[in-house]
Amino acid sequence: MFQKKKSLWLFLLPGLTGLLLFYVVPFLGGIYYSMTDGTISNQIVWFDNYKRVWDNEVFRLGLKNSLELSLICAPLIFVFSFVLAVMLRVLKEKSVTFRNLLLMPYLVPSAALLIVWQQILFDYGGPVNRVVAALGFERVLWLESEALRVPVVLLYVWKNLGFSIVLFSAALSSVPDALYEFARLEGANAVQQEMRITLPMILPTAFLVFVMAWVNAFKIFKEVYFIGGAYPRDSVYTLQHYMNNQFAKLDYQNVTTAAYSFALIVFVLFGALYLSRGVRGNDGR
Amino acid sequence: MTAGNPPIRRHRRRPLRPGRALSYAVLILVCALLLLPIVLTFLYSFFPTSEMKAFLETRNNYEPDHYMDILLSPSIVSLGQYYSLLIEKPVYLQLFFNSALYTLSILLGQLLVIPALAYALSRFRFRGRDALFFAVLMLMLLPFQVTMAPSVLTMRTLGLMNTRWAVILPMVFAPLYVFLIRQYMVGIPTDMFEAAMMDGAGTWRCFAHMVMPISKPILGAAAALSFADGWNMVEQPLIYLSNDQGAMPLSVMFDRVAASEPGVAFAGAALYIMPALLIYTYFQEDILLGIQLSDMK
């Protein structure tokens, strides 16, 4: 650790300036905005904006959808990535190709995928509905009804699944093989091994994967914007749509107020994560 | 799944055979499903423009017995879509170059600023360091929209609104990469610094000749992830470039281009995906490391 070095400023200053100018100052300045009335006299109204925004139906719709969408996406990603990571471990060194393929969508731009997704896969006469019909159900109007959530959620999961798989795989590889050997000698079957050894051993990581998936899914927007546009159907109108549209109306008070409500929720989720670190500290890591 | 639990044999280290077979089957299926949209995009990009156009016209048909065909092989393998995009209509290329310009400028700026900041945060002791790191952590969790309105005011004050700088500059300081690189640098053993300083190296020599070379994997990871970010960005240009359609990147305009020229949309998508795939292939191992470091240990 270097102490009292003048050269610190050489390294610190450029980055610090940018962080302050483009992130910290706007963040703090926004708090001021959210508490003033936006007229020429610009009076401080404290929490009136918050009351108004929280009473606003459109804001509530956005909040409800962001929460619901994130609570659909996060568990899906959590369960699938855990199961797939366990399967990757079963295959040991043969799993590398699979893992690399699973992560690939994470780098692919979603805008480029959109045509296949929207114009072919989820078209009323497209392959997805062929499968639905083959299973004996009514075909679904994926893009023209409230079912729009399904393609949106699937596009999100498609893109982000690999990320959680990598986190789980790293945690799984740190569980000593000897534990499984021992369990097998004792006659434990595969499911018992996963439930009794794997799960407890990776619990801290599992919790973290879930919270991260949740926080990230709460920020879901791109996928909805591409599929549903700036004014999508009610079922996928997110908090970020509300903010973008308030911004377009130049109502900065509403934007910032919504923004800090949004930030508060993200921080509460993050607080849970932070507390979990305390829990981890106690279990001997 | 567990029915085939065999009698224990001493020398078998591998878990249950049915487990392996099942894992293979599921993973192959999942990978096939995940790759399907990408494969289809590339496949369809080699269809003649007219055939693709005709095919896309069969969508949005709600008659009870109508389905789109499952189209798997073109009547003739054609580079017509690519020819049309790259040579006949300059719009697409213009947008593509915009995207490349943004992404590369952001990466270059990040290279100049972020490793140094991460170095300061990881190897120096100074007042307010922990507070600064905590701020970085918080900022990286927030979506762009939270600071959107005040950022616009900052940009206006600086006179950067509706210029390309407004898109580039904030991304240059993206907190996520500060965090990632800092996490890696914290792990470099202190002994190495002590040894280097015994040999007379100062903070700058330590940084340029030791920390940077050692950090290559995480720099690769950050570069690849940041590339994906920039190549895919939507929110920032929508806000900062509202009056300047000509400066928009491909990520924002692609759906409009695709809608106006349905016959060539797939070649457009394929060309758009290609750089991302190349970056992914090249930086694969580094990216894995980067993701593992992102879990806030």
Asked whether residue B65 is assigned to any structural domain, the reply reads yes
Based on the fold, state whether residues B59 and B188 are members of the same structural domain: no
Based on the fold, state whether residues B77 and B93 are members of the same structural domain: no
Interface test with A, best of B8, B23, B176 (most A CBs within 10 A): B23
Give the residue from A56, A8, A69 showing the smallest Cα distance to A222. Answer: A69
Contact A3/B at CB under 8 A? yes
pLDDT at B169: 93
The angle subtended at Cα B32 by Cα B30 and Cα B37, nearest 5°, is 110
Side chain identity at residue B133, one-letter code? F
Asked whether residue A35 is assigned to any structural domain, the reply reads no
DSSP line for chain B: --TT-PPP-TT--S--HHHHHHHHHHHHHHHHHHHHHHHHHHHHTTS-HHHHHHHHTTSS---TT-------S-SS---HHHHIIIII-HHHHHHHHHHHHHHHHHHHHHHHHHHHHHHHHHHEE-TTHHHHHHHHHHHHHS-GGGGHHHHHHHHHHTT-TTSHHHHHHHHHT-HHHHHHHHHHHHTS-HHHHHHHHHTT--HHHIIIIIIHHHTHHHHHHHHHHHHHHHHT--HHHHHHTTT-GGG--HHHHHHHHHHH-GGGHHHHHHHHHHHHHHHHHHHHHHHHHHHHHTT--
CATH number at residue B286: 1.10.3720.10
- How many Cβ atoms sit within 10 Å of the Cβ of residue B250? 25
Based on the fold, state whether residues B140 and B193 are members of the same structural domain: yes
Of all residues in chain A, the one with the smallest CA distance to B255 is A111
Based on the fold, state whether residues B264 and B123 are members of the same structural domain: yes
Give the residue from B110, B105, B114, B144 showing the smallest Cα distance to B233. Answer: B144
Residues of chain B with pLDDT under 70: 1-17, 243, 295-297
Condensed to tens digits (0 to 9), the pLDDT of residues A35-69 reads 887 766 677 777 888 888 888 888 889 889 988 99
**Residue with more model confidence, B247 or A266:** B247
Kindly give, in sequence order, each residue whose CB lies less than 8 Å from that of residue A120, ignoring residues fewer than 6 positions away.
Answer: A126, A127, B40, B59, B68
Residue with tokens 């991304």: B171
Residue A273 has pLDDT above 80, yes or no: no
Residues in chain A: 285
Based on the fold, state whether residues B111 and B252 are members of the same structural domain: yes
Based on the fold, state whether residues B93 and B195 are members of the same structural domain: yes
Based on the fold, state whether residues B151 and B106 are members of the same structural domain: yes
Condensed to tens digits (0 to 9), the pLDDT of residues B10-69 reads 554 554 567 788 889 999 999 999 999 999 999 999 999 888 888 888 887 787 777 887
* C-beta atoms of B173 and A125 within 8 A: no
In this prediction, residue A283 has a pLDDT band, given cuts at 50, 70 and 90, of very low
Asked whether residue A39 is assigned to any structural domain, the reply reads no
* C-beta atoms of A10 and B204 within 8 A: yes
Based on the fold, state whether residues B75 and B211 are members of the same structural domain: no
Based on the fold, state whether residues B194 and B258 are members of the same structural domain: yes
pLDDT at A277: 62
Q: What is the ipTM of this complex?
A: 0.84
**Residue with more model confidence, A3 or B48:** B48
Asked whether residue B121 is assigned to any structural domain, the reply reads yes
Kindly give, in sequence order, each residue whose CB lies less than 8 Å from that of residue B134, ignoring residues fewer than 6 positions away.
Answer: none
Asked whether residue A13 is assigned to any structural domain, the reply reads no
Distance of alpha carbon B222 from alpha carbon A109, whole angstroms? 17
Contacts B22 to A, Cβ<8 Å: 87
Distance of alpha carbon A132 from alpha carbon B273, whole angstroms? 29
Question: Any bridge partners for residue A3, and if so which?
Answer: B125
Based on the fold, state whether residues B155 and B186 are members of the same structural domain: yes
Distance of alpha carbon A61 from alpha carbon B64, whole angstroms? 34
CATH number at residue A249: 1.10.3720.10
- How many Cβ atoms sit within 10 Å of the Cβ of residue B17? 11
Asked whether residue A29 is assigned to any structural domain, the reply reads no
The share of chain A scoring above pLDDT 90, in percent, equals 16
pLDDT at B283: 92
* C-beta atoms of B170 and A22 within 8 A: yes
Give the residue from A133, A139, A8, A171 showing the smallest Cα distance to B127. Answer: A8
- What the block records as the tokens of A225 is 């914007």
Based on the fold, state whether residues B96 and B222 are members of the same structural domain: yes
Asked whether residue A38 is assigned to any structural domain, the reply reads no
Quote the number of domains for chain A: 1
Mean of all residue pLDDT scores within chain A: 84
Burial class of residue A54 in the structure, from the number of CB atoms within 10 Å of its CB (0-12 exposed, 13-18 middle, 19+ buried)? middle
Residue that is last in its domain, among B54, B81, B108: B81
Give helix A149-173 / helix B17-44 axis angle, nearest 10°: 130
Contacts B59 to A, Cβ<8 Å: 119-120, 123-126
Residue numbers of the domain that contains A203? 45-280
Distance of alpha carbon B235 from alpha carbon B103, whole angstroms? 15
In this prediction, residue A224 has a pLDDT band, given cuts at 50, 70 and 90, of confident
Residue A238 has pLDDT above 90, yes or no: no
* C-beta atoms of A256 and B169 within 8 A: no
**Which residue of A3, A114, A208 is in closest CB contact with B296?**
A208
Residue numbers of the domain that contains B170? 89-293
**Which residue of A112, A126, A170 is in closest CB contact with B269?**
A112
Of all residues in chain B, the one with the smallest CA distance to A142 is B60
Distance of alpha carbon A113 from alpha carbon A135, whole angstroms? 26
pLDDT at B273: 94
Condensed to tens digits (0 to 9), the pLDDT of residues A168-199 reads 888 888 888 888 888 888 888 878 888 888 88
* C-beta atoms of B27 and A87 within 8 A: yes
Residue that is last in its domain, among B62, B81, B100: B81
pLDDT at B297: 52
pLDDT at B1: 41
- How many Cβ atoms sit within 10 Å of the Cβ of residue B51? 17
pLDDT at B26: 92
- What the block records as the tokens of A268 is 């509460």
Interface test with A, best of B141, B197, B257 (most A CBs within 10 A): B141
Residue A6 has pLDDT above 90, yes or no: no
Residue A281 has pLDDT above 50, yes or no: no
pLDDT at A285: 33
pLDDT at B91: 86
Based on the fold, state whether residues B135 and B21 are members of the same structural domain: no
Asked whether residue A249 is assigned to any structural domain, the reply reads yes
Quote the number of domains for chain B: 2
pLDDT at B245: 78
pLDDT at A278: 55
